[in-house]
Amino acid sequence: MTVPIDQLITTAISVAMGSIIATLIIWYISTYMLKRTLTNTIAYLRDPIKNHLTTILTDKETRDVLLRIAQHILSDEKIQSYIKGDKE
> pLDDT digit string (tens) for 38-84?
989 888 888 888 888 888 888 888 888 888 998 888 888 888 888 78
Q: Is the pLDDT of residue 12 over 60?
A: yes
- pTM summary value: 0.44
**Span 12-32, mean pLDDT?**
94
Helices (H) and strands (E) in the chain, counts: 3, 0
User: Three-class SS of residue 23?
Assistant: helix
Q: Within a 13 Å sphere around the CA of 32, how many CA atoms are in the beta-carbon half?
A: 6
Buried b (16+ CB within 10 A) or exposed e, 56-80: eeeeeeeeeeeeeeeeeeeeeeeee
Count of Cβ atoms closer than 10 Å to residue 27 Cβ: 10
Give the Cα-Cα-Cα angle 58, 72, 88 (nearest 5 degrees).
130
pLDDT at 88: 54
Helix 77-84 to helix 60-75 angle, to the nearest 10 degrees?
Answer: 70
